A and B are shown apart, each in its own frame.
Chain A
Amino acid sequence: MLSAFKSIPTHMDYKGQKLAEQIFQGVILVSAVIGFIYGFTIQQFGWTVYIMLAGFTISCLLTLPPWPMYRKNPLNWQPALPETSGETRDKPQENQKKKKHK
């Protein structure tokens, strides 16, 4: 079960992360201000908390899943090196690591 969850891609690129952070901070601050004014008007702090929780849920939905708008500037990774030379270089390093652990 856990491997199924881990295989879902959840990454965002850097500009997307910045956008997500701005979005959730903005949504929560706006809902806090609205909640404070409404609660002060009707003199019940419970409503302030409810409006804050609604703002929290909206920002969860907007920023937690990796929507496509957060992936508009993907990173340019270097192309992968061909596999054969990579393997021969790795093997002696692995042997050395095993000796160190013993």
Chain B
Amino acid sequence: MNTVLSRANSLFAFSLSVMAALTFGCFITTAFKDRSVPVDIQVSKVMIKNVDDFTGPRERSDLGFVTFDISANLQPIFDWNVKELFLYLTAEYSTKSNALNQVVLWDKIVLRGENTKLNMKDVKSKYFFFDDGNGLRNESVKGDGVCESEPKGDGICFRAASG
């Protein structure tokens, strides 16, 4: 601590350790919160076609077209450890060949600071709703809205909203 450089060294190293402790404190205050929010999803139009499946092996599969409305208020999820939210809508159903199928239909990224009230009408699905096989006819499909939050402090946490 005799020279300026050695004083600056110990000061800087101490500040970095304190910053690390603060970040850990930020993580601890928010890691165990329950982050599910009620979501309202309504399907307005469904159409199923049976076409050649161009995403995989060349067989005819069922292709579904879903148009839906989704509304939710995401404000309670944004705390000081959340940088952005990644939302996606999955359709879950079971067929004769597979016990559980999950297909992602639509996703959206919501950054911190943007509008947190989600109110979208007549949204078309972004991704193709292919079934491997012909199992979509006459099947009841459950829509699951999932939101994955990207925090500042640590790894990705995964919380589900039901709808």
Chain A residues engaging chain B, CB cutoff 8 angstroms: 10-12, 17, 20-21, 24-25, 28-29, 32, 35-36, 39-40, 43-45, 48-49, 52, 56, 59-60, 63-65
A64-B19 contact given A10-B3, A12-B1, CB 8 Å threshold: no
Q: Are B3 and A52 in contact (CB under 8 A)?
A: no
Q: Are A40 and B29 in contact (CB under 8 A)?
A: yes
Among B7, B15, B18, B81, the residue within 8 A (CB) of A45 is B81
Q: Are B18 and A28 in contact (CB under 8 A)?
A: yes
> Inside 8 A of B2's CB, which chain A residues have their CB?
10-12, 17
Report the minimal beta-carbon distance from A55 to chain B, rounded to whole angstroms: 8
Enumerate 25 A-B pairs (CB-CB under 8 Å) in ascending A order: A11-B3, A17-B1, A20-B1, A24-B10, A28-B11, A28-B14, A28-B15, A32-B18, A32-B21, A32-B22, A36-B22, A39-B26, A40-B29, A43-B79, A43-B80, A44-B80, A49-B19, A52-B15, A52-B18, A56-B15, A59-B11, A60-B8, A63-B7, A63-B11, A64-B4
Please report the number of residue pairs spanning A and B whose Cβ atoms sit closer than 8 angstroms. Answer: 61
Q: Are A39 and B1 in contact (CB under 8 A)?
A: no
Chain B residues engaging chain A, CB cutoff 8 angstroms: 1-4, 7-8, 10-11, 14-15, 18-19, 21-22, 25-26, 29, 78-81, 152
Q: Are B4 and A10 in contact (CB under 8 A)?
A: yes
Q: Are A45 and B26 in contact (CB under 8 A)?
A: yes
Q: Are B7 and A64 in contact (CB under 8 A)?
A: yes
> Inside 8 A of A32's CB, which chain B residues have their CB?
18-19, 21-22
Q: Are A56 and B25 in contact (CB under 8 A)?
A: no
Give the CA-CA distance A36 to B21 in the complex, in Å.
Answer: 10
> Inside 8 A of A28's CB, which chain B residues have their CB?
11, 14-15, 18
Among B1, B21, B29, the residue within 8 A (CB) of A21 is B1
